[in-house]
Structure 1
Amino acid sequence: MPYRPRIDLDRQINDHLILRTAPGAVDYLAEDVRALGARVLRRYPDGLLIEYTGALRPLAASRYFDVLAVDPAALSDSLKDGVLSALLPGGDAVRFRVGDLGEERWAARERFESEYGWENSPNAWDVNVEPGGAEIGALYLTQRFGELQRTPASTNPVVAAVLTRLAKIEPGQTVLDPFCGAGTLLVHAAELARPGRLLGFDLQNRWLRMAADNLRTRGASALLARADAAHLPVESGAVDRVMANLPFGKRVGSHRVNSALYPAALAEIARVLPGNGRAVLLTDDKRLFRETVQRTRLIRVIKEIVLARGGLHPSAYVVTKRGR
């Protein structure tokens, strides 16, 4: 079996921690950790430096960071009463690897072995020492919540959490993803809100099978069907919330294809939403999206948040109906 780093989430710690997230999600992360009593010491474009005192479990439950790290200069303090003291190594020593530290790499490795008694283990480690900090393997997002199957254009889990928050799903509401792919947004809607019904459509049967597997793995369910986003098999006004990662026209599709797809898909979204409906749509084909919204009856953009992932800078647009 592959080595899985372990940690005591009920351990009470006092530490300065670096939390990394997607640019655009920093405000949501800051709000999350402040609610836990953490003090924000510094903000970065893609993360926070915080002072945190308390059990690890509530902090690990946040969906808005994917990496937690410790300043390498503060490892001794962290080993005493911080997050490193909560590690549960499989052997007699903490396992570590050293990333791209340049000329300091070998000196750092020798220091961790001689000063802390750690075991250099590049292929099975508890701590990954990178220029930005000593990353705790057991607190990676995929370790905390499990890894989902992905399509080439699947939504990043942190971004999916932001989109779900923006959707403001109320208990019992019907939520639709007309470009569901592997079902990442449906999974997050099920886990972070209390929807009444989840609907997921896609043109690719293989993605629908993947979505079904992901939902089943997370203990959620949805009605999945092969359908065209330009011709949704849903009655008018029957969907309370729409969440979608639209084709950007880069990794998937093209701008030329989007020029026909966006008007048809947005017209359908406007049709299936009721007067108080709300859609959260992610795209990097921004000019086309804005122009299409302006030409689509009954909908308008009320909010835009620029996110970043994988070298792209898509925007999450919150779209509502203009009237009932």
Structure 2
Amino acid sequence: MPCCTNHLVLRTIDGAADLLIEELRAMASVRSIRQLSAETVACAVDGPLDELVACALYFTVSGAGVAPWMRRFGPLERLPWSTNPVVAEVLVRLAKVRPGQRVLDPFCGTGTILLAVRRRTPDAHVIGTDHDPHALKLATTNGCRQLAQTMAEALPLADASVDRVVTNLPFGKQVGSHALNRTLYPAVVSELDRVLTPAGRAVLLTEEKRLLNTAIQRHRALKVVRQRLLRYNGATPTAYVLTRPRRADLR
């Protein structure tokens, strides 16, 4: 019997299409991949759709003979400012988490990023903190376990104890404010420097781009090595990838 082929269109966010295409190219069942727009990618899938279902870099899929099968991420408890699930997947890929590493989200909210880390790297040790007890309760309902109620400026973690930080910083549209961020961002950068290992990596998402860049430049213990602009739901935040500078960079 000939193999069934589905011709599908996947919808992601503006800024994630290249990552989606990269993952599709690694799938044996997927071919004829092409980007249609900033948010849509077309492909053909031969046979079962299992590989495609396992990919978390898109929201919906449509095509001849295929229903729009997904609420891609299942029933999650969320707040109005909870991180977009595909955005969380992008941030986790930028973090390059390895098995066994300790991964922290210091503004974890309802746990969207923590769940994305666990989906991508099941063997990672995932830690979430937030100052909001209601958000942490929802994160627990969503299946997150290692959680603590605390301020991100004073984390209950030892020095050099975290391999990766992945977080959506408050940037004042739905939570926080510009005035608060003027003191929050420098304090958070300093605290992340304290808890990150020497080879640590942080991925921080924000629309307060000038504030974050200024905080990083003044602290000098971390440097931006990569940026990715994302566009979704009227927001245009940038994901900043930070590592420690080499000794020559500090001269």
Give me the TM-score of the superposition, normalised by structure 1: 0.72
**Contact 2:62–2:68 at 8 Å: present in 1 too?**
no
**Contact 1:179–1:229 at 8 Å: present in 2 too?**
yes
Q: Does 1:163 align with 2:94?
A: no
The C-alpha deviation readout for 1:152-186, integer Å capped at 9, x for no partner, is 21111111111111111111111111101001111
Cα separation, 2, equivalents of 1:318 and 1:227: 24
Larger radius of gyration: 1
Amino acid at match of 1:52: V
1:255 aligned to which of 161, 178, 182: 178
What's 1:35 paired with? 26
Identical-residue share of aligned pairs (%) = 42
Cα separation, 1, equivalents of 2:120 and 2:224: 24
Cα separation, 2, equivalents of 1:248 and 1:22: 19
Cα separation, 1, equivalents of 2:242 and 2:129: 20
- Alpha carbons of 1:68 and 1:274: their partners in 2 closer, same or farther (altered >3 Å)? same
Amino acid at match of 2:4: I
The 5 Å alignment of 1:276-315 reads: 276-315=199-238
**Contact 2:223–2:244 at 8 Å: present in 1 too?**
yes
SS at the partner of 1:191? helix
Q: Does 1:24 align with 2:32?
A: no
**Contact 1:16–1:50 at 8 Å: present in 2 too?**
yes
Cα separation, 2, equivalents of 1:323 and 1:231: 26
Cα separation, 2, equivalents of 1:45 and 1:29: 11
Q: Does 1:176 align with 2:169?
A: no
Cα separation, 1, equivalents of 2:146 and 2:53: 30
What's 1:64 paired with? 57
Cα separation, 1, equivalents of 2:161 and 2:35: 45
**Contact 1:169–1:194 at 8 Å: present in 2 too?**
no
- How far has the Cα of 1:323 moved from its partner? 4.5
- How far has the Cα of 1:17 moved from its partner? 1.5
Give me the TM-score of the superposition, normalised by structure 2: 0.92
Across the aligned residues of Structure 1 and Structure 2, the Cα RMSD in angstroms comes to 1.7
The C-alpha deviation readout for 1:102-133, integer Å capped at 9, x for no partner, is xxxxxxxxxxxxxxxxxxxxxxxxxxxxxxxx
**Contact 2:117–2:124 at 8 Å: present in 1 too?**
no
Cα separation, 1, equivalents of 2:96 and 2:184: 26
- Alpha carbons of 1:42 and 1:233: their partners in 2 closer, same or farther (altered >3 Å)? closer
| Count, aligned residues | 244
**Contact 1:19–1:69 at 8 Å: present in 2 too?**
yes
SS at the partner of 2:142? helix
**Contact 1:274–1:321 at 8 Å: present in 2 too?**
no
The 5 Å alignment of 1:101-180 reads: 136-138=67-69, 140=70, 142=71, 144-180=72-108
What's 2:122 paired with? 194
The C-alpha deviation readout for 1:12-39, integer Å capped at 9, x for no partner, is 5313211110111000111111222321
Cα separation, 1, equivalents of 2:122 and 2:199: 18
SS at the partner of 1:33? helix
What's 1:203 paired with? 131
- How far has the Cα of 1:198 moved from its partner? 1.6
- How far has the Cα of 1:291 moved from its partner? 1.4
More helix by percentage: 1
Cα separation, 2, equivalents of 1:41 and 1:16: 11
* Unmatched runs of 5 consecutive residues or more in structure 1: 1-11, 71-77, 85-135, 216-220
Cα separation, 2, equivalents of 1:249 and 1:42: 33
Cα separation, 2, equivalents of 1:39 and 1:261: 47
Cα separation, 2, equivalents of 1:307 and 1:145: 20
The 5 Å alignment of 1:218-229 reads: 221-229=144-152
- How far has the Cα of 1:245 moved from its partner? 0.6
